Structure 1
Amino acid sequence: MKKNIIKISLAALTVFVSLTSCERNLDQISSINEDQDQAMTRAESFRQAMDGAYTALKGGGYYSGDTGSQLIMGDLTTDNLVRTASGRNTNFAASNFEFSSDNSQTTGLYNAAYLAISRTNFVLKYINNGVLSGTQKTNIEAEARALRAIVHFDIVRAYSQIPTQSAGAKTSIGIYYSETYSPLNNTSSRNLTVEQVYDKIIADLLFSADNITQNDADKGRLSKAAIYGLLSRVNLYKGDYANTIKYGELALGLSPSVTQRSNFYAIWKEKEGNVNDGVLFQVSNAAAEQNTVGAAYNQAVPSLRSEFVVDYDLYTAYTDNDVRKSAYFTTSIYSKQKYNHVTKYAGNGGPSNIVPIKYLRSAEVLLNIAEAYYRSGDQASALTLLNKLRVERYTTFTPGTEAGQLLLDAILKERRLELAFENDRWYTLKRLGLPVQRSGKGDLFDGTGSPAVKQTLDAGNTKWQWPIPITAIQANPNIKQNENY
């Protein structure tokens, strides 16, 4: 067995874990090379290793690169985006529902996510070695378990059914929940049901919520408010509306702003750290890292050239008095054709397409609670929350009075408008058991031009569960492939 060596960069304060088919080695270019057991005898190594776990979210298949980036996958597979005729055909197969086990567009998340999980488990392996104590220890352990939980959540909602998706979803096949650092592990299996995986995710998050004490000044690290918000998200997917409300209200109690109207444009366009109003947790992305996350949507060459543009029906759903319209879109010409480009991640005043990724915002938590209140029979509370969000998004707004199905429709409409291009739409349709039904409109600014090739995906189609990458199965034959791949 190859002995793991940890190389810690005191400048980057990061530990990297590289994944191969049979082993995970800790490796980073540095002047300090030492055995991992020795490295983890210093308190600062735990912070470095934890920051390395966060860094994994910036890898390919997660929030980096053009192909399979989670910044765009949850939208290009739905009715939110249309492929442009003038683009490079990046992610075309996924947008056309051509999912396969050897295509990184839908399989990239799997390995990237387990890499992040491996890094959290590395931290947890040493948490009780006596180096840390008191709040320093509990905060690191809480961070590691919370990050481990939400990355497992990202895997399970993509590669397994969502509990509310169908009648038998809770007892359907889940994923492997990794709770130990095991570099040579090739015997794990998908031995849990979907419900059991969700229970483990929630257990990790509850431990973290109870034990974390660090404040939320650094949005690139998990805080109590963020963890409560994540509990609200997970419980909504689970169909536990009482706990969606409970933990969502706790999150908003600690971080009540859903982003003031005057700050909304700035949270997307300003350089990292300048404006974080309403942000609970983000994947930090500084200019020095050159992680051009917005390139998944378009590039400046020098005029905007887009891979995908907003669907015309969605674009026209944003009224002119909606502050989100100017924050999310730019209408301009490329190659003599006019498009409604998605420029939510283009940045402003710094390097193009290098911005932090908003993983969780208070606005989503509010929408989670509003939907849960509605489904629990408390329409008055649902409407109050919905109006709280809408007054911060429209320059002129008269409080709504919707009730019944119209209220639910309004909540879901605002969810689509608010969370467009934030990896939500595919999973909202999936958890609600709804099909993809595209508008049939084209890629040009007025809805003409080339429409998507495939227009529909039935709610019962097995493609709602993405394929496990064939490389993962080859490395570990115990991992069962999803149906019909």
Structure 2
Amino acid sequence: MKRNIIKISFAALTAFVSLTSCDRNLDQYSSINEPADQAMSRPESFRQALDGAYTAMKTSGYYTSDAGNQIIMADLTSDNLVRGSAGRNSNFAASNFEFSSDNGQTTGLFSAAYFVISRANFVLNYVNNGVLSGTQKANAEAEARAIRAMVHFDIVRAYSKIPTQSADANSSIGIYYSEKFDPANTTGSRNLTVAQVYDKIIADLLFAADNITQNDADKGRFSKAAVYGLLSRVYLYKGDYAKTIQYGELSLTASPSITTRTNFNSIWKSSGVDGVLFQISNSATEAVTVGVAYNQLFGAGYRSEFVVDFDLFSAYPTTDIRKTTYYTTAAYNGKTYNHVTKYSTNGGPANVVPIKYLRSAEVLLNVAEAAYKSGDFTKALTLLNSLRQQRYSGFTPGIETGTALLNAIYKERRLELACENDRWYTLKRLNLPVQRSGKGDLFDGTGTVPGKQTLAAGDTKWQWPIPITAIQANPNIQQNADY
């Protein structure tokens, strides 16, 4: 019988990564060929293994390269972006709703995410081996389970229905929830409903919330405030507004800043972390160009694959700090575009910045929406005004009521979280169609109007296709409808 020989920082393959042989998955050699059991006999190896799980989020299909990069997918599949005529047509099929099981633009997340999960499960496989004890053991398990929950959530919202999307969503097909380290496993199936998957995600997060002990000084690792914030996101998607408020307020109490106007630019352009709950760390040494899916910076300027939709760009008044932080109006090859430069930098390599996975501003918007839907309109307006106070110069508090208040919350969510992997999923959970503006790619809304402009609510394309390579590796995995 073969021994599992691994390098801790690259531990584990998932059952859903395309498999070529048993040997490839059972023998994972490091430069020192150290057996896993031996490596995990040292306390420091647990930290290395957990860091390996975080590092795996920077693989292709998750948060790096261009095709299928999650930092852009929720925006190019919705109404936030327009394909730039000067670009290379990367991700155009996805932006045109041409989803298929052999196109990595919408399938890349699936295998990349299960790869991260396998690394978290590797830690959990050894957490009870007696090497760790007390709070150190509890924290390691809590952190691994938080990672596992986060990534399963990313998978289920992409490849299954969202509970609030339709009346039958909770009972519809979910995903495989991987709870053990077993890289040779080819028997897992989508045997859970959406509701059951959410229950498992929440169970992992509640354990993490109760047991995680590290503070939030290092935003590249889960803290209690980050776990609370993620619970607010999951409960909002679940439609449990009381819990959205409960855990959102716990998160905001632990980490109250929603990023001051003064600090807003620095969290995107340099090393600022004001208002950041959890980020996927990145540095000039690693040089993971997370924003390359939007554009590349040459001597001639920004060559954009996608530019911001003119109507969205126009929705930001000139007093809004986000407009100049997120976008740059500039010429390329004699034509002027509104480029997405949210992930550019003030010096250093272009597009090499940490990925802000979760911010307090989103948590505030979660709570504001949940408060409105729970009938607490005063709280909803107060929270909304507190965000707008930090984004608009000379802001006068709003007095919206009724539907106007809810629409204002939705508007601020779109403006705040644009190009941050939110818009597609917000439309999906609200069961709204994609309705693009029909404007062109140039700075004034003229120019090329590429591709399809609408996707109906309820269309089966809202559930992305399972990659054919995953089904070939494990025939138990059921494909989504109409693929």
Residue 425 of structure 1 corresponds to which residue in structure 2?
423
Q: Does the 8 Å CA contact 1:15/1:28 hold for their aligned counterparts?
A: no
Residue 49 of structure 2 corresponds to which residue in structure 1?
49
Is 1:293 the counterpart of 2:296? The answer is no
Residue 444 of structure 1 corresponds to which residue in structure 2?
442
Counterpart code for 1:140: A
Within 5 Å, give how 1:50-199 maps onto structure 2. Answer: 50-199=50-199
CA distance in 1, matches of 2:29, 2:275: 34
Q: CA deviation at 1:25?
A: 5.3
Residue 330 of structure 1 corresponds to which residue in structure 2?
328
Change (3 A) 1:28 1:300: farther
Residue 471 of structure 1 corresponds to which residue in structure 2?
469
SS of equivalent residue, structure 2 residue 292: helix
Q: Does the 8 Å CA contact 2:258/2:359 hold for their aligned counterparts?
A: yes
For residue 278 of structure 2, the aligned residue among 259, 276, 281 is 281
Q: Does the 8 Å CA contact 1:292/1:354 hold for their aligned counterparts?
A: yes
Q: CA deviation at 1:170?
A: 0.5
CA distance in 1, matches of 2:401, 2:51: 46
Report the TM-score, using the length of structure 1 for normalisation: 0.97
- How far does the alpha carbon of each residue in 1:399-437 deviate from its partner, in whole angstroms, 9 at most, with x for none? 000010000000000000000000000000000000000
CA distance in 2, matches of 1:26, 1:164: 43
Change (3 A) 1:314 1:26: farther
Q: Does the 8 Å CA contact 1:107/1:467 hold for their aligned counterparts?
A: yes
Q: Does the 8 Å CA contact 2:5/2:29 hold for their aligned counterparts?
A: no
Within 5 Å, give how 1:193-272 maps onto structure 2. Answer: 193-270=193-270
SS of equivalent residue, structure 2 residue 318: coil
SS of equivalent residue, structure 1 residue 332: strand
Residue 382 of structure 1 corresponds to which residue in structure 2?
380
Q: CA deviation at 1:452?
A: 2.8
Residue 17 of structure 1 corresponds to which residue in structure 2?
12
SS of equivalent residue, structure 2 residue 291: helix
SS of equivalent residue, structure 1 residue 162: coil
Counterpart code for 1:326: T
Q: Does the 8 Å CA contact 1:17/1:26 hold for their aligned counterparts?
A: no
Q: CA deviation at 1:301?
A: 1.9
CA distance in 1, matches of 2:7, 2:198: 34
SS of equivalent residue, structure 2 residue 246: helix
CA distance in 1, matches of 2:27, 2:336: 48
Q: Does the 8 Å CA contact 1:175/1:197 hold for their aligned counterparts?
A: yes
Residue 311 of structure 1 corresponds to which residue in structure 2?
309
Q: Does the 8 Å CA contact 2:94/2:106 hold for their aligned counterparts?
A: yes
Q: Does the 8 Å CA contact 2:325/2:341 hold for their aligned counterparts?
A: yes
CA distance in 1, matches of 2:470, 2:420: 27
Counterpart code for 1:93: A
CA distance in 1, matches of 2:472, 2:49: 29
CA distance in 2, matches of 1:261, 1:300: 27
Q: Does the 8 Å CA contact 1:16/1:28 hold for their aligned counterparts?
A: no
Q: Does the 8 Å CA contact 2:248/2:367 hold for their aligned counterparts?
A: yes
Residue 11 of structure 1 corresponds to which residue in structure 2?
none
Runs of 4+ in 1 over 2 A off after TM superposition: 14-20, 22-30
CA RMSD of aligned residues (A): 1.1
CA distance in 1, matches of 2:2, 2:88: 42
Q: Does the 8 Å CA contact 2:2/2:27 hold for their aligned counterparts?
A: no
CA distance in 2, matches of 1:311, 1:277: 28
Residue 362 of structure 1 corresponds to which residue in structure 2?
360
- How far does the alpha carbon of each residue in 1:264-317 deviate from its partner, in whole angstroms, 9 at most, with x for none? 0111001xxx31000000000111112111111000122110000000000000
Q: Does the 8 Å CA contact 2:5/2:30 hold for their aligned counterparts?
A: no
Residue 348 of structure 2 corresponds to which residue in structure 1?
350
Residue 372 of structure 1 corresponds to which residue in structure 2?
370
| Identity among equivalent pairs (%) | 71
CA distance in 1, matches of 2:169, 2:29: 41
Is 1:458 the counterpart of 2:456? The answer is yes
Q: CA deviation at 1:350?
A: 1.0
CA distance in 2, matches of 1:318, 1:159: 32
SS of equivalent residue, structure 1 residue 256: coil
Q: CA deviation at 1:4?
A: 1.8
SS of equivalent residue, structure 2 residue 263: helix
Q: Does the 8 Å CA contact 1:17/1:25 hold for their aligned counterparts?
A: no
Q: Does the 8 Å CA contact 2:18/2:470 hold for their aligned counterparts?
A: no
Q: Does the 8 Å CA contact 1:7/1:26 hold for their aligned counterparts?
A: no
Q: CA deviation at 1:17?
A: 3.5
Q: CA deviation at 1:395?
A: 0.8
How many pairs are equivalent?
Answer: 476
Q: CA deviation at 1:54?
A: 0.5
5+ residue gaps, structure 1, are: 9-13
SS of equivalent residue, structure 1 residue 293: coil
Q: CA deviation at 1:7?
A: 2.4
CA distance in 2, matches of 1:275, 1:71: 19
CA distance in 1, matches of 2:207, 2:27: 27
- How far does the alpha carbon of each residue in 1:312-363 deviate from its partner, in whole angstroms, 9 at most, with x for none? 0000001000000110001111111000000000111111110000000000
CA distance in 2, matches of 1:417, 1:37: 49
Q: Does the 8 Å CA contact 1:16/1:26 hold for their aligned counterparts?
A: no
CA distance in 1, matches of 2:193, 2:211: 28
- How far does the alpha carbon of each residue in 1:186-245 deviate from its partner, in whole angstroms, 9 at most, with x for none? 011100000000000000000000001110000000000000000000000000000000
Change (3 A) 1:393 1:7: same
CA distance in 2, matches of 1:20, 1:74: 25
